[in-house]
Structure 1
Amino acid sequence: MIFGRKKLQAPASVEETNGATQFRLAPRSPSEAIKPTAAPPPPPRIRRPRGGFFSALSGFLTFLIAVALAAMIGIALFEREVTAPGPLETDKVVVIPRNTGVSEIAQLLRREGVIEQPLLFEAYAMLNRQRGHLKAGEFLFRAGISMDDAIDTLVQGKSILHAVTVPEGLTSEQIVARLKENDVLTGDIAEIPPEGSLLPDTYKFERGMSRQQLVNSMMASQRQTLAQIWQRRSPDLPIKTPQELVILASIVEKETGRADERTRVAGVFINRLMKRMKLQSDPTIVYGLVGGKGTLGRSILKSEIERPTPFNTYVVEGLPPTPIANPGRAALEAVANPSRTKDLYFVADGTGGHAFAETYEEHVRNVTRWRQIERAKSTGDTENDVDRSQPEVRGDASGLQLPATASALSQTNPAAGRNSGRNNTAGRRNVDASEGTNLDPLLNRTYDLNSAKTVPDLKQP
């Protein structure tokens, strides 16, 4: 009896791999034998529960990155706002009072139209404290100035500087009067500085500076300048102290305003001191009469030349007790190093300068020429005035008969407020040619006393 045929199978092969026995069925056919063996399936993944330290760290880092990106975007927008041109259409000066806080400054700049966002200004100023604090003062803000540049202006203190010019030859009282007229300075001056203690110059200062501070600065400049000039003075001068140098320099300053004549005029006075001759300088007479007030307003009378005062160098020998004005650097330098001449006299020559002479005879000829120039301009009654064409003869300490000299026969330069002896129409007294004119140093703030000048003709009504 035949039962169903049993299907034959290929014998199984035995393989041993890594100590483990594996059974493998033999291929059923040659084609099956050349087919690659299928790779075993991957092991199952073991799923761990979410959470833990690494998960928290990952989330925190992600948050930080997002914050950093947002901050970078915010800073970029912030920088663009503070560096963008501002709303100011034209240049403007703004005064920041002292002891003003950042918020008050921001509001002030907003009212003046310099900025539009005061809160942004405050924030940016606080963030830039390392650049310095905002300063008070008077500041110029340019049109379209950015917030960043405005803060930089206030931090660096780029305040506007004002200037006051003090001409050479003014007295201390005249200088104080000029400073009191300046409305940018503040406060009062405690007392009139000693004559000759102020250095004429142009001084710059910020709004709000006190007048006394400026006076102190002028005195310090004079001390420093005098010390330097005294160190390089000529060794054979009859000048023994720096104060004596200032006294003689003040006389030279009042005698001439021409830069090319200062050393020669100084040489005349040095020569006269060496010969023990009286200086006989007209400006010393005027100072003895009016003190620090400045000009006399007319010519010197004969009685005034003979009137004894401590400053009248027609009466006293040598130098007066104090300076008669505040000399400038050039006059100080001229006295410290005068011209080496034998000149003993000088008189106005009609051109704004002087004619110098070594002898009295030559000097008289120069005076005659000067009087001819004066008579050609006008004729007047000089009964009450000194007849300067007939100089009187005097004796000096050496016993020699020497005439009145130097400015006793000269017209002192009126350009720096000096006394002048111009003749006017008949019946009128002489007046100071600079007083009330455009050359008056108290009226004209820009007149340059270092340049050559001529005396203007006075027009009578």
Structure 2
Amino acid sequence: MWKAVASNALTLLIVVIFLAGGAFLWGKEQYTGPGPLAEAICVRVPSGARLTSVSDDLEEQGAISSAAILRIGADYTDRTDQLKAGSFRVPEGASMEEIVDIVTRGGANTCGTEIVYRIGVNSASVLVRELDPAANRYVEQASFDPAADAPAPEAYTAMRAREDTIYRVVVAEGVTSWQVVDALSRVDALTGEVAEVPAEGSLAPDSYEVQAGSDRMALIDRMQVAQEAILSAAWQNRADDLPYETPEEALIMASIIEKETGVAEERRQVASVFVNRLNEGMRLQTDPTVIYGITNGEGVLGRGLRRSELDAETPYNTYQIDGLPPTPIANPGRASIEAAVNPVETEYLFFVADGSGGHAFATTLAEHNENVARWRQIEAERADQ
């Protein structure tokens, strides 16, 4: 009898082991295999949330077949306590394994509603937009000028009241430090004061994600640290025989390049013109430096330069001074900084607008005068239209 009992027990144990193994393999397939999501969704992970509530939310939205299996898989891979707060896009068909990675990896938010504070060369604006997860693109909800439009649109007020709203400050290439500080003073999602305008050129144009209530000066510090890193890396990889001896002089050159062209492919050519002129002992003769000497970077001139301004001897009038002006004239982006330290090799000494948004380059004054005459004709034709 005992042999029969032992035999039955062994058989039962084998069956249990077989079933357990099968259940494990089934669970693993459920965890790693494609999920049931038909189209992408946004998943919000609140600060302090636990995996139980997040997994239940995912199951409710149809992103996973079983909240319990997701929790077991996350626990097995030691990621249960690694949730990162934020709003994240979960793509269609994502497996539980992929979803766990998305909500525990961290990094920038990839989903939800954003309020974007744009600081541009000519104006500042606020954009309220929401990601359509299925199309993976943002849809504009409202847009306004914080300096002119009061009160703010209802969509903005409503999104400001939401805890999961993402805030972003976008600084355009070529803005001045005064423009950045002036625009930040009107960003009501930020707090604190900026005691003084940072050194011109010291702020890196970029997109910065911030938290509601963040300190303005802390954001300025982030911009300065980023610009220092960009300039340092570029200077380490600079070309030989440049006509400037310090990173600060390269930054001045980069700011001039930034203001002279908005065409990415032209930056190194523009840099070559100015480098060639400096090497030849020629004056830079660039309008943006003259304009900066008039405005001090506080806003846009809004008109053409007068002859008296071109003839005036000021530290920024490169028609009258030799070499570089004393400081940058804007905050240049990475591409202009890299162009300043690695210009393309050309014999160009002149350039002028060509009517297409770019410039016509020339080696001799005669060629340049022809390009100028062509540009004047284009201007005249446009004025007659």
Alignment TM class, shorter chain as reference = 0.5 to 0.7
- The separation in 2 between residues aligned to 1:111 and 1:284, in whole angstroms, is 60
Match of residue 291 from structure 2: 286
Match of residue 236 from structure 1: 241
Match of residue 359 from structure 2: 353
Is the 1:161–1:205 contact (alpha carbons within 8 Å) kept by the matching residues of 2?
A: no
Identical-pair percentage: 40
Question: Partner of 1:311: helix, strand, or coil?
Answer: coil
Give per-residue Cα distances to partners, 1:311-339, cap 9 Å, x unaligned: 33345543222211233444334433446
Greater fraction helix: 2
- The separation in 2 between residues aligned to 1:60 and 1:159, in whole angstroms, is 60
Match of residue 164 from structure 2: none
Structure 1 counterpart of 2:42, from 93, 105, 122:
93
* 1:281 positional shift: 1.7
- The separation in 2 between residues aligned to 1:173 and 1:68, in whole angstroms, is 77
Is the 1:343–1:356 contact (alpha carbons within 8 Å) kept by the matching residues of 2?
A: yes
Match of residue 317 from structure 2: 312
- The separation in 1 between residues aligned to 2:242 and 2:54, in whole angstroms, is 60
Match of residue 151 from structure 1: 100
Q: 1:316 to 1:90 in 2, by over 3 A?
A: same
Match of residue 232 from structure 2: 227
Q: Which residue identity does 2:291 align to in structure 1? A: V
Is the 1:195–1:322 contact (alpha carbons within 8 Å) kept by the matching residues of 2?
A: yes
Give per-residue Cα distances to partners, 1:265-303, cap 9 Å, x unaligned: 334433444565543321112223334455322212334
Structure 1 counterpart of 2:86, from 114, 137, 149:
137
Match of residue 251 from structure 1: 256
Match of residue 433 from structure 1: none
Structure 2 counterpart of 1:300, from 279, 297, 305:
305
- The separation in 2 between residues aligned to 1:328 and 1:248, in whole angstroms, is 12
Structure 2 counterpart of 1:76, from 13, 22, 26:
22
Question: Partner of 2:290: helix, strand, or coil?
Answer: helix
Structure 1 counterpart of 2:55, from 102, 106, 109:
106
Is the 1:161–1:206 contact (alpha carbons within 8 Å) kept by the matching residues of 2?
A: no
* 1:96 positional shift: 1.1
- The separation in 2 between residues aligned to 1:61 and 1:349, in whole angstroms, is 94
Is the 2:272–2:348 contact (alpha carbons within 8 Å) kept by the matching residues of 1?
A: yes
Question: Partner of 1:378: helix, strand, or coil?
Answer: helix
How high is the TM-score relative to the length of structure 2? 0.61
Give per-residue Cα distances to partners, 1:107-140, cap 9 Å, x unaligned: 3324434346545544554344378744443333
* 1:251 positional shift: 0.9
Q: 1:67 to 1:156 in 2, by over 3 A?
A: farther
Q: Which residue identity does 1:70 align to in structure 2? A: V
Question: Partner of 2:88: helix, strand, or coil?
Answer: strand
Give per-residue Cα distances to partners, 1:5-33, cap 9 Å, x unaligned: xxxxxxxxxxxxxxxxxxxxxxxxxxxxx
Match of residue 138 from structure 2: none
* 1:365 positional shift: 5.5
Is the 1:250–1:326 contact (alpha carbons within 8 Å) kept by the matching residues of 2?
A: yes
The count of residues paired between Structure 1 and Structure 2 equals 322
Question: Partner of 1:138: helix, strand, or coil?
Answer: strand
Match of residue 453 from structure 1: none
Question: Partner of 2:245: helix, strand, or coil?
Answer: coil
How high is the TM-score relative to the length of structure 1? 0.53
Q: 1:86 to 1:239 in 2, by over 3 A?
A: closer
Is the 2:293–2:317 contact (alpha carbons within 8 Å) kept by the matching residues of 1?
A: yes
Q: 1:100 to 1:229 in 2, by over 3 A?
A: same
Contiguous gaps of at least 5 residues in structure 1: 1-49, 380-458
Q: 1:225 to 1:317 in 2, by over 3 A?
A: same
- The separation in 1 between residues aligned to 2:108 and 2:174, in whole angstroms, is 31
- The separation in 1 between residues aligned to 2:55 and 2:377, in whole angstroms, is 72
Give per-residue Cα distances to partners, 1:153-178, cap 9 Å, x unaligned: 43455976489976543434556789
Is the 1:137–1:207 contact (alpha carbons within 8 Å) kept by the matching residues of 2?
A: no
**What root-mean-square deviation, in Å, do the aligned CA atoms of Structure 1 and Structure 2 show?**
4.9
* 1:350 positional shift: 4.0
Contiguous gaps of at least 5 residues in structure 2: 112-167
Match of residue 413 from structure 1: none
Question: Partner of 1:114: helix, strand, or coil?
Answer: coil
Q: Which residue identity does 2:323 align to in structure 1? A: G
* 1:199 positional shift: 4.5
Q: 1:181 to 1:97 in 2, by over 3 A?
A: farther
* 1:244 positional shift: 0.4
Structural mapping, 1:358-437, within 5 Å: 358-359=364-365, 366-378=371-383
- The separation in 2 between residues aligned to 1:198 and 1:269, in whole angstroms, is 23
Match of residue 330 from structure 2: 325
Q: 1:101 to 1:309 in 2, by over 3 A?
A: farther
- The separation in 2 between residues aligned to 1:67 and 1:159, in whole angstroms, is 50
Q: 1:159 to 1:64 in 2, by over 3 A?
A: farther
* 1:200 positional shift: 4.8
